[in-house]
Chains A and B, each alone.
Chain A
Amino acid sequence: MNCTEAKDALSALLDNALTSDEAREAEAHASSCAGCRAWRTEMAEVRQLLRGIDDGDEPPGLSAFVGREVMAAIHGRLLGTKPAPSPERSARRIAWAAAGFSALALAAAAGWAAWESSRRGEKRPDRPAVASPSAEKTSSSVKPDPEPVRPPPPEVPDEPPRPARTHYGHLELRATDAGTRDAARDLFSKWPGTFKSSEPSVSGAFALTIDFEGPASDAADEFEKLLLDFQRKHGASLRSWKYSSETR
């Protein structure tokens, strides 16, 4: 084993990536080569320095909610959650949170809902122009143009009646105490649907599941308000939750 081979091996030895035979050979070389011994010491220092960096931390330039933003973008691109051009197209939203992330995830879910709402808000009809060219050229010496005669609006054929749309929701959450579970039941019982709760698990958590449905017009927004209200009051007692809904 020459010094070049020994350096590769000694570097790998730091990572326990050698077989026992390879390790023995590398050690044997180092014991007889002062240069490679010093090299190994320095490599160990460099490695220790690098391994002290936690690459799982948030790197610079990454916003705190990048995960949510990526999810939002992917939902938009994969699942078609952009504002629908046709009122018949169903909207779908999913908010979720995982154990250990309750506060952050609840905030993320709120952000998700806000993002969805803002996206829906972007799809508004174009506003009429503030000023027309004829209005701009009006002055005291010039008679204002007479009120233009507007043509009658084109006749719009009556749309066929659409079937009523309904909002369906499914909420699962796990609370650390029965009081939070009961509070959730009281709050969400305003919605027609089924409610299931469990006895405390081994870990002492109370799980509950709510399936509900309501009129499509405002149901999604109103239910999100309930969720946010519940988050404000009981976020610290929630271990996890998952909410999915669909309007059809």
Chain B
Amino acid sequence: MPELVPGGETVPLDWASEPDEPLMLRVQSGDTRALELLIQRWSPRLAGLFYRLTGDPHAGDDLLQETFLRVWSARESFRRDARFSPWVHSIARNLAADRAKNRNRKPLHRALNAVGAPGSTTTLLGKIPDHATTPFAAASRLELLAKLDEALRSVPEPYREAVVLCDLQRLSYDDAAQVIGVPAKTVSSRLARGREHLRNALAAFRSGPLP
């Protein structure tokens, strides 16, 4: 039997537990199965990033495609000592910025009326684990969460970007700095300003301590 092209290399069945970097090195050598696994692993998280940065809940599908097409086409540029998370975040962030620029509008504004209605379980803040023990507490929480969703959109872009990358995507200051292309101190400062903007946006709403 001729050697199989797609399945020519036998990959360990537990390769799904491999970290991102070895998988990316497999991609670098042309292994599309490793690319598939990275896509599966990273799609939800990057779709969240696109939603936060563009405000378009439907931006994820085509931006995800573009992101991983670039991962594939730029695979040679992935250094062996690099980490995958900041690398793929850089690609995704640049694509989101291009999208926002091409549409000639500020990111996130379009989503104001599209999602985020109080009580909606599909808003960003609907993802906060619900520890409310009474219907009243649950309703209050949903209202607060929807308000926080709005507040996040009102934060000026450079600050919101730092909040999204550090607080939502959980990147370190150094990784976020690499993604944005600024010093880590700048990320730290922007993050402080972003949190402060959020606090101010929530101030009118808050009547008690945050949950």
Chain A interface (Cβ < 8 Å from any Cβ of B): 7-8, 10-12, 15, 17, 39, 42-43, 45-63, 66-67, 69-71, 73-75, 77-79, 92, 94, 96, 98-101, 168-170, 172-174, 193, 207, 209, 211, 213, 239-240, 242, 244-246, 248
Does B43 contact A66, Cβ atoms closer than 8 Å?
yes
Task: State A20–B2 Cα separation when bound (angstroms).
Answer: 62
**Smallest CB-CB A-B distances: 7 pairs:** A61-B57, A170-B7, A98-B16, A11-B192, A244-B7, A50-B167, A244-B6
Tell me the B38-57 residues at the A interface (CB within 8 Å). Answer: 39-40, 43-45, 47-49, 51-52, 56-57
Does B44 contact A58, Cβ atoms closer than 8 Å?
yes
Does B39 contact A67, Cβ atoms closer than 8 Å?
yes
Asked whether B105 is an interface residue with its Cβ less than 8 Å from the other chain, the reply is no
Task: State A50–B170 Cα separation when bound (angstroms).
Answer: 10
Residue of chain A at shortest CB distance from B128: A52
Does B148 contact A7, Cβ atoms closer than 8 Å?
no
Binding site secondary structure of chain B: helix
Asked whether B101 is an interface residue with its Cβ less than 8 Å from the other chain, the reply is no
Does A50 contact B4, Cβ atoms closer than 8 Å?
no
Residue of chain A at shortest CB distance from B163: A50
Q: How far is the CB of A241 from chain B (nearest CB, A)?
A: 8
- Are A8 and B35 also in contact (CB < 8 A) when A46-B199, A53-B168, A74-B65 are? no
List the A side residues contacting B202 at CB < 8 Å: 46
List the B side residues contacting A246 at CB < 8 Å: 4-7
Does B192 contact A94, Cβ atoms closer than 8 Å?
no
Q: How far is the CB of B25 from chain A (nearest CB, A)?
A: 18
List the A side residues contacting B100 at CB < 8 Å: none
List the B side residues contacting A53 at CB < 8 Å: 124-125, 127-128, 168
Does A60 contact B209, Cβ atoms closer than 8 Å?
no
